[in-house]
Amino acid sequence: MTGFIGQALIYIVPFLLLLTFIVTIHELGHFLVARAFGVKVDRFSIGFGRALLSRTDRKGIEWRLGWIPLGGYVKFSGDLDASSVPDQAGLDELKSRVVAEHGPAAVKEYFHFKPVWQRALIVAAGPLSNFALALVLLTLLFSVIGERIEAPRVARVAEGSPAAAAGFQPRDLITAINGRPVTEGVEVTRTILLSANDPLTFTVQRGGQVVSLVATPVRQLEEDEVAGRTKVARVGLYLGAMQQSDFSYRRLNPFEAVGKGADAMVSVVTTTFTYLGRIFVGKESGDLLNGPLGIAKAAGGVTKQAVAYEAPPSVLILNLVLTYLQFAAIVSIGMGIVNLLPIPVLDGGHLMFYGYEAVARRPVPARVQEVGYRVGLALLAGLMLFATWNDLQKLSLFKFLGGLA
């Protein structure tokens, strides 16, 4: 029993807190922009299910704390269906009901009768809030920690690896990949991870000479406390500082921290879309995609790593907080990206419908919405099943059950 409680504290509780926090910020984005445009809101809930706490304010908005901590939601007055994009017949029915119950003046307070550009901004505010949250967290991190740059110096070359075959040697300094300059080890690692089976040309400084080496990353199975069992692209290079000039550190003022945070966020977004693009063209297996189980395992791994050092409790707590801020920023970016996908059940699908409405001057027909909604559900379910399959593979569950992994 004690062991289960410990595992729950390490894996389940951090995951639920993280998910609820990020989803609440997402829904708060919808809520704040909607209220700025005068939209009537029935409820803002943190968590789902029966209310543990509930209060209705003077504007008639119910503020609720649900007993299931799996995110939250905002409910606009007059929502008719799950897609929140009724067709013309649905709009006419809703308008008649609102006029009958509250009078003609009340119509302008309902989300569905706002101009299409306002509805689009309200919908886009959710994912944009996730990006804004990530930027705030990354800026805070860079303000507290500063910037540490480690040069891409080769410390060791794995025997029998593509790097060894290409002729890499310890103390080589990588200065460019495929002609693109690199100054940090993380840039080299990121490029290799996204280049499985694609030959890469490395420009290397060796002593006083410039050497060109070609190596092709290959996928290999790795076990990681945070990511679990994954196949990732490697060339067999171990990077690390070998002399004082290989690393530098500087404190960042608030403006520099914002810029560095924005750069980091853009890097995560571009890396994610590059990886997704490689999946669609068959160059990646999607092994790095995570579902709820994978995020929960990663949350637990982050917790364990943050408290693994021998240090005073105050230092461990600070390290845990900073580590979780970084993890929350990355998950928040992921949530923003997923919600912008053009799938009807997501914010991106709503924006797609509003784009049609802006051009055609009428909502998407009900039949088309229904088909789109079903296809969207199927796509989303497929994506979640695929990600969950990856999670189970990484957790070695199938190996435990009979060696299927």
The set of catalytic residues is 27
The span from the CA of 208 to the CA of 168, in Å, is: 15
Side-chain half-sphere exposure of 60, counting CA atoms within 13 A: 9
Nearest to 332 by CA among 2, 51, 25: 25
Rounded-to-integer distance, Cα 196 and Cα 216, Å: 7
Q: CA-to-CA distance for 237 and 252, rounded, in angstroms?
A: 31
- Encoding tokens for residue 13? 């509780």
DSSP-assigned beta bridge partners for residue 68: 48
Phi-psi category of residue 177: left, alpha or beta, with phi > 0 → left and psi -120 to 50 → alpha: beta
Dmax (CA) for the chain in angstroms is: 84
Return the structure tokens found at 287. Answer: 């092994």
Q: Tokens at residue 253, please?
A: 């003022």
Both ends of the chain: CA-CA distance in Å?
29
The span from the CA of 234 to the CA of 218, in Å, is: 6
Distance CA 213, CA 35 (A): 58
